[in-house]
Amino acid sequence: MSDRVYLHIGAPKTGTTYLQQVMNKNRQALRRAGVLYPKVAGDAHHTALWDLRGLAERRDFGQDIRGHWDKVVQAAVEWDGPTTVLSSELFVYADAKLAARVLGAFSGSEVHVIYTARDLVRQVPAVWQERVKNRQTLPYEKFVADVLGKAKTGMAKTFWNAQDAAAALERWSQGLDRRHVHVVTAAPSGAAPEELWNRFARVIGVDGRDFPADVPAVNTSLSVTAAELLRQFNLRHGQHMTILRYRKLVRRGLLDILTQAVHDESRLGLSVAERQALGVRARECVATLQSAGYDISGSWDDLLLSDVGGRGAGGRSPGPGDVTDTEVVDGLLDVVFELLKYQRRLKEAGADQQDPPSGPGDELADEGGDVPPQRQPRRNKRPATRRARQ
């Protein structure tokens, strides 16, 4: 059995998918370095956790996931190298009972838990956007209010269940040496992507520079207009599709086209008051993590960026609730234009499937066809009249 088993439990939207892609890409090289990253399905170990939770018989995952948990456990048992790594951001949602069950499966090894964390000012907008990409319809302004509200809704409880690092690690550290509980912080905005991998790699005992970390960009952020357009699409059509169908048609198709078509520079923001409230929460969390004696790879200061003031004079920069009907219609027209180009490429290639256009400089532009104008950055001033919000 592995001498050490590292369980990377999340949190979502902290670079987990990037790390999983890097480890999947370097699976054989890591193996030669003594690190096993077991293969079950995809880049991560989500299906193993679903199997452990008994969901294999109750939900359609598009594949048979029965036995996936036993498979990764057996891989760790049979591995004669020093290290095994499992990674799924879904682990973080486990209650104390399920966490204990996971930890107990590797009782013959020295178990470590890794939690990747990012400052809350970036997390709140990122989590809402990810929800919208998964068929959810809650308006951004309502989401932020719920997250920061005193009366915790079910959604807010789910958010903090994952994003409150101190609470999550309290569940996952039972019976572990506190030195075997690791917090890997995401570097501030603007840092090289591989910095997160280098920090993570140090924890699992390898030099990240020895493994190529150039993987395709994933989870591309949507502009404010694009995010609101997708949310309204979900309101109208989301309930008519299973989640599997939605992921195939929207996440693996429409999202790419939406990102290319609606490419204004607006980004989700938070007001000064909201940032300050998150700053208080972040400082309390960091103090708890430090007093617990957990290992840190990165800097605690990386999690305290929530103190930075918001954009604008005391308020949030325009958000999804400020998107006008005209902007939605313009965005839809640009999406239709991109879809027409994509359809023509499929026809010319004679293929059933092809990646959506990669961006500017497409065939219509080459042939002198009309190209949608570059969307201008959105201004802070909005017309007083808004459409009714659902």
State pLDDT tens for residues 205-233. Answer: 999 999 999 998 877 788 899 999 999 99
Mean pLDDT of 289-308: 88
The domains found in the chain, sorted by start residue, are 4-218+270-307 (3.40.50.300), 224-266+324-366 (no CATH)
- At residue 306, the pLDDT reads 52
- Residue 126 to residue 7: CA distance in whole angstroms: 23
User: Quick check: 381 pLDDT over 90?
Assistant: no
> Over the chain, what is the mean pLDDT?
86
Element (H, E) at 184: strand 181-185
Closest CA to 186 of 14, 308, 17: 14
**Cα angle at 216 between 215 and 222, to 5 degrees?**
135
Q: In percent, how much of the chain has pLDDT > 90? A: 62
Mean pLDDT of 367-387: 40
Handedness of CA 240, 243, 248, 253 (dihedral sign): positive
State pLDDT tens for residues 124-150. Answer: 999 999 999 999 999 999 999 999 998
Mean pLDDT of 67-77: 97
**Cα angle at 161 between 159 and 162, to 5 degrees?**
70
- Residue 125 to residue 103: CA distance in whole angstroms: 32
Longest CA–CA span in the chain (Å) reads 67
Element (H, E) at 289: helix 272-292
User: Quick check: 345 pLDDT over 50?
Assistant: yes
Mean pLDDT of 334-354: 78
φ, ψ for residue 271 (rounded to 5)?
-75, 165
- Residue 282 to residue 305: CA distance in whole angstroms: 9
User: Quick check: 387 pLDDT over 50?
Assistant: no
Are 197 and 22 contacting, i.e. CB atoms less than 8 angstroms apart? Answer: yes
Q: Of residues 318 and 90, which shows the higher confidence score?
A: 90
Of 43-52, 62-71, 85-94, 161-170, minimum mean pLDDT range:
62-71
The predicted model scores a pTM of 0.85
User: Quick check: 273 pLDDT over 60?
Assistant: yes
> What share of residues in the chain are helix, strand, coil (percent, to 5)?
50, 10, 40
Mean pLDDT of 351-379: 39
- At residue 260, the pLDDT reads 84
The pLDDT-based confidence of 122 (bands split at 50, 70, 90) is: very high
Element (H, E) at 21: helix 16-25
Cα atoms in the 13 Å half-sphere on the side-chain side of 159: 22
User: Quick check: 390 pLDDT over 60?
Assistant: no
Are 51 and 69 contacting, i.e. CB atoms less than 8 angstroms apart? Answer: yes
Closest CA to 120 of 309, 279, 288: 279
